[in-house]
Every structure is written in structure tokens, then in C-alpha cells.
Amino acid sequence: MEIKKALRQFLEYMEIERGRSLKTISNYKRYIERFINFSKIKKTNEITEERVREFRLYLNRQPGVKSNKQNKTTLKKRTQNYHLIALRMFLKWMLKRDIKSLAPDKIELAKTSSRQIDNIGKKELNRMIHVSKKNLRNHAIIQLLFSTGLRVSELCSLNRDLDFSKDEFTIRGKGEKLRIVFLSNEAKISIKNYLNNRTDMDEALFIQEGPNVVKLEEENIPLRLTQRSVERIVKQIAIEAGISKRVTPHTIRHSFATDLLRNGADIRSVQIMLGHSNIATTQIYTHVTNEQLKDIHKKFHSKD
């Protein structure tokens, strides 16, 4: 079968039958096309172990992020694996349809080092909450992120017509999967205060602020905050709170998960609240329980 025809059908399958997001589809397309363009194959049966090996070597020699002019790095192993995962999914799809190609189990992922998570302590988070109080919207954003562990994309998708008088609401997350998230009293109060001071009619929960807002509204231009805008807001609050490390909305999501585990929540419950489809993704947070085990060991081991 022609490789481009197979790829088109595969992407349609992922979108329609598997219900993957357009962003995911775009990523699959980019990764697989990179392999196709590199290997110059025309037919599905031209995918071989040798061509995959050459592609892996090519990826491994691609320049990565440069920390400075003297320090050049190669493409991260995790990024290399994204290409291989997409290609393997493509091969699995072909195998199910009896399309002649390479067996998907011939592709092994590169070994990666344990994922390190960015985190901030409770004191640092409290400083951010305190600093954010000077702006009702920003305070509501910080409180909501920490109360729910929402992804920034999920937060930006929220509309103001949610019933925030309740302690929970349903969010549609990655892969269009629904899950329930829970609101703290502080989050509910901060959101109500913010909404009570809104004078616009925009449907979005969090919107732009500033002198141009009235003009934008008159021209029926949506005011909804973008993910990048929320990232800038969180970054600025962290700077004002005297935090030197890089802080993003995802950092607060990490702090949400860490806080749950430190207070006795089990990893399965945390997985559900974060909306992880695979518990292995949630297990990056087990460093928290490992630290607790170390403290227990010091406290109780070899005591006479």
C-alpha cells in the first residue's frame, strides 16, 4: 500500500474511531512524516528494521536545546521516543488491517532517565496565593489550579456558567475524558468574588483585562485567556513572591498531587483526580512517599 494513503487512513482512524484530539493527530502526522521523508519510502512494506535504526540514529544526532553557546545537546530521549511511539502506533494499525509492513514489536523505545518534576513547597505556594490577592482574577486562577490540579488547557476551557456553589464540577480533559474535580472553600470564594466584579458578558470564566477589553467586547472578539496568558500570569506571580525557580501552571498541578500524597492519599486516587489514563504517569510522584519512608526509617530503625 502507498505510505501516504496508509498514513491518511491511520490519522482518520485516530481522529474518528479513537477520538484523539486534533493536536494529538497533528503530532502523529508530524512525527511519522519525519520518518517517511527521512527514509524516502513510498510503500508500507518498505519500512524495515534497518530504516528504523537509521532514523533513530538520525534523531539521536539532531541538535537539542542549547543552554548556552558552548553547551550543545542532542534531541531529548523523551522527544525521540515520541517519534517512535507514533511510528509504532502506525505499525499496529497496519498489522490489524493485514497491511504488509514491519511488526510493531520490532521497535523498542530508548531508555530515559527518571522524570524529574518541578515542584514548589507549601510556603512558596502560600506566598504566591498572598501576592495574587491584589488581583481578583489572578487570585481565582491560583486558587483554582491548586484546588483542582487542572491542566492549563482545562482551566482555559472553563465557562462562567459552571455552578461554583457546589464543591465539585466535571471537566473534559485529555482524550475527551470526563472527570470530577473538587473545589476548596477558598477557591469558591475567590471565583465568586471575581465573577461578582465582572461587567462583561463573555462566556469564558477567565478573560483578558486592560484598557482594550471594552473595545474587543464591542467588536464581539472573544476575551478568553489563552494558555500562554495564564502561563505569563503564574510566572509573574511567582517572581513577585520571590521564587527564583521557574513556576508554571503545571508546577502548581505537581504541587496539588504532592500535597495529596503527603496528606495520605493513595496513588490510585491521585491518578483519578489528575486524569491520568495510565498509573505509570502518576508514579512520578512516588518520590514524595519515598521521602516519607526515609523519615520513618531514620526515626524507627536501629533504636535500642
| Residue-wise DSSP of 256-301 | HHHHHHHTT--HHHHHHHHT-SSHHHHGGGHHHHHHHHHHHHHHHT
> 3-state class of 111 per DSSP?
coil
Closest to 7 in 3D by CA, of 99, 124, 139: 99
CB neighbour class for 77 (10 Å; exposed up to 12, middle 13-18, buried from 19): middle
Report the length, in residues, of the chain.
304
Active site residue 250: yes
As a whole number of angstroms, the distance between CA 75 and CA 138 comes to 36
Active site residue 253: yes
Active site residue 166: no
Active site residue 198: no
Q: At what angle do helices 286-300 and 249-262 cross, to 10 degrees?
A: 40
Active site residue 151: yes
H or E element: which one contains 179?
A: strand 178-182
Which member of 174, 179, 235, 287 is catalytic? 174
H or E element: which one contains 188?
A: helix 185-196
Which member of 139, 151, 188, 254 is catalytic? 151
Active site residue 194: no
* Contacts of residue 220, Cβ cutoff 8 Å, sequence gap at least 6: none
Which member of 76, 130, 160, 250 is catalytic? 250
Which member of 20, 88, 139, 253 is catalytic? 253
* Contacts of residue 273, Cβ cutoff 8 Å, sequence gap at least 6: 149, 179, 181, 182, 257, 260
Which residues are catalytic, by number? 151, 174, 250, 253, 276, 285
